[in-house]
Amino acid sequence: MADVKITVRRNGPFRVEAAPGSIEVVDADGNAYDLSARMKEGKLAFSLCRCGGSVNKPFCDGTHSKIGFQAAEAAVKASDQAQSGTTAQSGLPPEADASRLKV
């Protein structure tokens, strides 16, 4: 098993579970967040917001439930993406994938 497990919660955050000291979360300036209060049953566990609504970013504060956040969750194999004509990076068809636009 990997040292760090990230679970994509259904219509919710990214749940991160790791051995103590094996992971660090830093802000844009490289300053580390204090994760000491996020120990649970001998392992580090916290949730990262992916809905954009948390007032405690980058951590989830449960706002996703209040705003009815909906997200695509299923892990898609690269071979399935190729078959459906989507891009591996975004899962979108090439014409809809803005990350592929050249400016």
81 binds ligand FES (CB under 6 A): no
Among 17, 44, 60, 86, binds ligand FES (CB under 6 A): 60
86 binds ligand FES (CB under 6 A): no
Tell me how crowded residue 73 is: count the other CB atoms within 10 A of its CB: 10
DSSP one-letter string for 11-40: TS-EEEEE-TTS---B-TTSPBP--GGGEE
18 binds ligand FES (CB under 6 A): no
Of the listed pieces 25-33, 35-43, 46-54, 83-91, which binds ligand FES according to CB under 6 A? Answer: 46-54
Q: What does the block give as tokens for 28?
A: 């844009």
Instruction: Report yes or no: 18 and 4 within 8 Å, Cβ to Cβ.
Output: yes
CB of 1 to ligand FES, least distance (A): 25
CB of 50 to ligand FES, least distance (A): 5
